[in-house]
């Protein structure tokens, strides 16, 4: 993968180069910059070599006829098969990289007057890109339909536009002030949902959004993925097993070493089993696995990861979770710098530490992101399935249960009875809004209309459209690329998504949940593996609140004052929320206060303006293991990345 930056105004080469310098971590293997000889647009790329290390694959890429110039970040599944097919049909594809395939497919569609969104819908993978049409003087910007990769842009000057892979890089071209109005959305989601970013003049493309800029105006359309597999339904378990295996095989097709994240869960286990099978078929060793180890045995999935790794004959690397306050805070700051905007999921600290460890071994790593959203893995979905039965209970009984009695129930049951007092719409907002402080305003961003009917289907759709790209996928991209690691997510291949979405939530939630995925991978798992409870990749948030709060501000009184700032809570309410959150029995409240802490840290430390310390050491480490000896070239005209 790579880091992209560019602008349409004349004379912006110095600013684009400054943006590329802010993206070195995303592309430690070289830099390329192209400026239109006719004036105006400049496109720049920092490259992480994963496919085709030859010079012909250096970016930006220029089409054979000179009409199109592409800056590409990502990978396309099955790119070698598709390139071979295009060449057999008489098309020129000038390298064996997925970027070259992408340029050919998109360029052909635009040259022939076709629909570029439809052409891109035929490609499975993960990508963000910028393409300049020299003939029509149009700039196309796009993002993959699942929202795996990100791209930011901003209008500025007299109708110009600039873009970049990260906010910090874009602000090297277009300065922008933080947007305080995103706080309600941030508290509800624990991240800033697209198209907002946390900055007044910067927006991010929504998943699957394709925009065209020309002469200061924008046209927007949506990329709808087209699955190659036709869902028949006669043997959907076998279909899913085959689709996941093919997606894993495509994700393993790289010209660099590949590893995989391995927890004790079903999603990473499915990827590991398929990857081991593919490797053996190719006469290779299974890719190495990586797991994070916690001191607290109740949170540690290392034993189950070892069990599966032994079953699959896989080498396993164990990476220690951060424990000390200074270490936790250091990873938090690095994560916030990578995002550029406030990000309240505390797992970002774990992902930063995990990615630092992975980067010492491989530059490409498979991950199981998307499995819970596609196959019904969250308890909230089971609550939604029960809602229509719960509504038959008299309202007076439901209201009574939502009072003091609810506090005696387990966390999931408590949230169920408290959220199930009104309509299905009320339940949807209660169960999806992550703000656990009633006195603070929060607001969900739904990103379009949800499907009519079943509440569970609505919640799964919402997670696929909003939560997954903004939370888990955003975290994988930022934390991986902070150390030059490309995370690939095979469960979000187009065919896998199409099969999962062809099945209703009711089917997915049969038994203990994830029924379809469970059936597909059961023959490949060791005995008892799928029946063990999932622990989850979550830190001890209440403990971390105390550690980081005391590190930053000392006493509880000072922590509370700094944390709540000018929010409309009384002194008693502030102390109540703090003590309930840090007491270890209210994880939702602890998560909300962690989000507030992150908001304060992001503002007080102005992390959106700083460069990550010790980044040069990381890049030097990555360069030492990069492919080939490349030289850097830049300037006006064609200047491939090194």
Q: What is the pLDDT of residues 70-128, one digit of tens each?
A: 999 999 999 999 999 999 999 999 899 999 999 999 999 999 999 999 999 999 999 99
pLDDT at 352 over 90: yes
Residues 15-31, mean pLDDT to the nearest whole number:
96
User: What digits encode the pLDDT tens for the residues 55-72?
Assistant: 999 999 999 999 999 999
Q: Please give the pLDDT value at position 597.
A: 96
Dihedral in degrees, nearest 10, Cα atoms 476, 477, 480, 484: 170
Instruction: Give the contacts of 225 (CB within 8 A, at least 6 positions apart).
Output: 121, 124, 145, 146, 208, 494, 497, 498
| Sign of the CA dihedral running 423, 426, 432, 438 | negative
Give the dihedral sign, CA 265/231/122/84: positive
390 class by beta-carbon count within 10 Å (0-12 exposed, 13-18 middle, 19+ buried): middle
pLDDT for residue 390 is more than 90: no
Query: Closest Cα partner for 271 from 308, 229, 226, 318?
Result: 308
Taking all residues of the chain, what is their mean pLDDT, rounded to a whole number? 89
pLDDT for the residue 580: 93
Question: What token pair was written down for 514?
Answer: 């994830």
Task: Report the number of secondary-structure helices (H) and strands (E) in the chain.
Answer: 26, 17
CA diameter of the chain:
74
Run of H or E including 188: helix 183-189
Q: Is 7 helix (H, G, I), strand (E, B) or coil?
A: strand
pLDDT in tens, 470-485: 999 999 999 999 999 9
Residue 622: pLDDT band (50, 70, 90) is: very low
pLDDT in tens, 336-347: 999 999 999 999
Buried b (16+ CB within 10 A) or exposed e, 536-566: ebebbbbebbbbbbeebbeeeeebbebbbee
Gap between the Cα atoms of 552 and 569, Å rounded:
22
Number of other CB atoms surrounding residue 640 within 10 Å: 23
pLDDT of residue 558: 95
Residue 406: pLDDT band with limits 50, 70, 90: low
**pLDDT at position 609, please?**
63
Q: What pTM did the predictor assign?
A: 0.91
CA distance 152 to 163: 5
Q: Kindly state the tokens that stand for 508.
A: 């997915």
Phi, psi values for residue 160, rounded to 5°: -90, 170
**What is the reported pLDDT for 379?**
87
Q: For residue 461, is pLDDT > 80? A: yes
> Residues 506, 501, 264, CA angle at the centre, nearest 5°?
75
Write the DSSP symbol of residue 611.
P
- 365: its two tokens: 């790593």
- What is the reported pLDDT for 623? 39
Structure tokens at 573: 């309410």
**Cα 392–chain centre separation:** 39
CB-neighbour burial class of residue 228 (10 A; exposed 0-12, middle 13-18, buried 19+): middle
Q: Look at residue 637 in the predicted model and tell me its pLDDT.
A: 30
Mean pLDDT of 437-465: 87
* pLDDT for 603: 86
Which of 129-138, 402-411, 603-612 ranks highest by mean pLDDT?
129-138
Polymer length in residues for the chain: 642
Give residue-wise pLDDT tens across range 565-601. Answer: 989 999 999 999 999 999 988 899 999 999 999 999 9
Residue 395 has pLDDT above 80, yes or no: no
Rg over alpha carbons for the chain, rounded to the nearest Å, is 24
Would you say residue 315 has pLDDT above 90?
yes
The helix (run of H) or strand (run of E) holding residue 560 is: helix 556-564
- pLDDT recorded at residue 608: 58
Tokens at 317, concatenated: 């690397």
Q: Could you report the per-residue pLDDT of 255-292, keeping only the tens digit for each?
A: 999 999 998 889 999 999 999 999 999 999 999 999 99
At 610 the pLDDT is 43
pLDDT at 101: 97
- Confidence at 298, pLDDT banded by 50, 70, 90: confident
Q: Are 168 and 5 in contact (CB under 8 A)?
A: no
Share of the chain above pLDDT 70, in %: 90
Angle at 513 between CA 511 and CA 517, to 5 degrees: 110
- Which tokens in the block code for residue 513? 């949940």
Tokens coding 419: 């959220």
pLDDT of amino acid 453 = 75
Stretch among 132-146, 376-390, 495-509 having the lowest mean pLDDT? 376-390
pLDDT in tens, 321-331: 999 999 999 99
pLDDT band at 639 (very low <50, low <70, confident <90, very high): very low
232 pLDDT tier (thresholds 50, 70, 90): low
Residue 584: both structure tokens together:
């270890």
Contact 134, 69 (CB under 8 A): yes
More confident of the two residues 231 and 214: 214
Q: Comparing 595 with 407, which gets the higher pLDDT? A: 595
Average pLDDT over residues 20-49: 95
Q: How confident is the model at residue 621 (pLDDT cuts 50, 70, 90)?
A: very low
Residue the block writes with tokens 């910067």 = 202
Class of residue 577 by CB neighbours under 10 A (exposed 0-12, middle 13-18, buried 19+)? buried
**Predicted confidence band of residue 632 (pLDDT cuts 50, 70, 90):** very low
Q: What is the pLDDT of residues 155-187, one digit of tens each?
A: 999 899 999 999 999 999 999 999 989 999 999
**Which phi and psi (to 5°) does residue 259 adopt?**
-125, -170
Q: Is the pLDDT of residue 350 over 50?
A: yes
pLDDT tier at 624, thresholds 50, 70, 90: very low
Q: How many CA atoms lie within 13 A of 477 on its CB side?
A: 27
| HEC sequence for 310-357 | HHHCCCEEEEECCCCHHHHHHHHHHHHHHHCCCCCCCHHHHHHHHHHH
Specify the pLDDT at position 642.
Answer: 26
User: What is the dihedral sign for C-alpha 598, 602, 604, 605?
Assistant: positive
Looking at the chain, the whole-number percentage of residues with pLDDT higher than 90 is 74
Q: What is the pLDDT of residue 534?
A: 76
Give the per-residue pLDDT at 394: 79
């Amino acid at each position: 993968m790579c880091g992209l930056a560019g602008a349409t105004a004349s004379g912006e080469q110095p600013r684009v180069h400054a943006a590329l310098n802010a993206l070195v971590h995303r592309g430690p293997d070289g830099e390329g910059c192209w400026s239109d000889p006719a004036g105006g647009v400049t496109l720049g790329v920092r490259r992480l070599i994963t496919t085709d290390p030859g010079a012909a694959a250096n970016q930006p890429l220029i089409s054979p006829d000179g009409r199109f110039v592409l800056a590409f970040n990502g990978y396309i599944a099955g790119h070698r098969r598709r390139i071979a097919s295009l060449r057999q049909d008489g098309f020129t594809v000038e390298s064996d990289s997925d970027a070259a395939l992408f340029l050919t497919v998109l360029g052909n569609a635009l040259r022939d007057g076709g629909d570029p969104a439809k052409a891109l819908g035929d490609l499975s993978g993960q990508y963000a890109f910028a393409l300049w049409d020299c003939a029509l003087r149009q700039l196309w910007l796009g993002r993959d339909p699942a929202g795996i990769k990100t791209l930011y842009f901003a209008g500025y000057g007299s109708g110009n536009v600039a873009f970049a892979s990260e906010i910090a890089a874009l602000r090297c071209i277009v300065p922008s002030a933080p947007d305080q109005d995103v706080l309600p959305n941030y508290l509800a989601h624990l991240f800033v949902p697209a198209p907002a970013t946390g900055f007044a003049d910067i927006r991010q493309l929504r998943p699957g959004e394709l925009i065209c800029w020309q002469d200061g105006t924008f046209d927007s359309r949506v990329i709808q993925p087209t699955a190659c597999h036709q869902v028949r339904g006669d043997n959907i378990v076998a279909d899913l097993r085959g689709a996941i295996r093919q997606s894993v095989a495509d994700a393993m097709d790289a010209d660099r070493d590949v590893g995989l994240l391995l927890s004790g869960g079903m999603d990473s286990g499915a990827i590991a089993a398929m990857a081991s099978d593919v490797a053996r078929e190719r006469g290779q060793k299974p890719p190495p696995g990586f797991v994070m180890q916690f001191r607290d045995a109740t949170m540690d999935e290392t034993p189950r990861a070892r069990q599966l790794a032994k079953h699959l004959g896989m080498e396993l690397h164990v990476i220690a979770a951060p424990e000390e306050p200074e270490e936790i805070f250091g990873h938090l700051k690095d994560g916030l710098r990578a995002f550029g905007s406030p990000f309240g999921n505390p797992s970002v600290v774990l992902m930063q530490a995990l990615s630092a460890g992975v980067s010492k071994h491989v530059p490409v790593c498979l991950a199981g992101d998307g499995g819970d959203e596609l196959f019904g893995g969250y308890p909230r979905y089971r609550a939604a399935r029960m809602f229509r039965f719960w509504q038959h209970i008299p309202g007076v009984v439901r209201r009574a249960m939502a009072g003091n009695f609810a506090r005696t129930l387990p966390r999931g049951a408590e949230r169920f009875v408290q959220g199930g007092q009104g309509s299905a719409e009320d339940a949807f907002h209660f169960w999806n809004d992550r703000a656990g402080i009633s006195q603070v305003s929060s607001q969900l961003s739904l990103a379009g209309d949800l499907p009519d009917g079943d509440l569970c289907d609505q919640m799964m759709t919402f997670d696929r459209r909003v939560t997954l790209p903004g939370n888990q996928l955003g975290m994988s991209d930022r934390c991986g690329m902070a150390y030059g690691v490309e995370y690939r997510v095979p469960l979000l291949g187009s065919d896998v998504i199409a099969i999962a979405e062809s099945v209703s939530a009711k089917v997915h939630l049969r038994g203990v949940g994830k029924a379809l995925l469970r059936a597909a991978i059961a023959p490949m798992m060791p005995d008892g593996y799928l029946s063990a409870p999932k622990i989850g990749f979550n830190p001890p948030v209440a403990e971390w609140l105390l550690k980081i709060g005391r590190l930053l501000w000392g006493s509880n009184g000072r922590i509370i004052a700094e944390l709540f700032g000018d929010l409309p809570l009384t002194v008693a309410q502030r102390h109540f929320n703090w003590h309930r959150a840090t007491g270890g029995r209210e994880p939702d409240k602890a998560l909300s206060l962690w989000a507030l802490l992150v908001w304060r840290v992001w503002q007080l430390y102005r992390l959106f303006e700083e460069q990550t310390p010790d980044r040069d050491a990381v890049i030097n480490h990555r360069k030492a293991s990069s492919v080939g000896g490349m030289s850097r070239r830049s300037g006006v005209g064609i200047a491939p990345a090194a």
